[in-house]
Amino acid sequence: MALRKTTKGKGRHFLTAKEGAGMTAAGRKAYNKSTGGNLKAPQPGGGKRRTSYCARSKGQMKMHRINCSKTPKKRICAARRRWKC
């Protein structure tokens, strides 16, 4: 089963950048079912997963030269806000 990559309509698997980017609960469930993975929801309250995500995403921003103060509508910027990085 291929994961449906959409941000619109019923049963969508991804949030729009305006909503904070990332996967929906249904998207995580479908991904975990099809791959045997164990994706979890964002951890904005703190912890090891948050620290790790923030470090990785900061590296992505640096690699792609993304400045969230200039381009706040980018998906990576929205996701970092959702994780409270």
**Distance, C-alpha 16 to centroid of its chain:** 10
32-78: pLDDT as tens digits: 998 999 988 888 888 899 999 999 999 999 999 999 999 998 989 99
Task: Say if residue 1's pLDDT is above 60.
Answer: no
Closest CA to 13 of 3, 28, 30, 27: 27
Q: Write the CB contacts of 25 (distance below 8 Å, at least 6 apart in sequence).
A: 41
Q: Which of 14, 34, 33 is nearest to 24 (CA)?
A: 14
Domain boundaries, the chain: 48-83
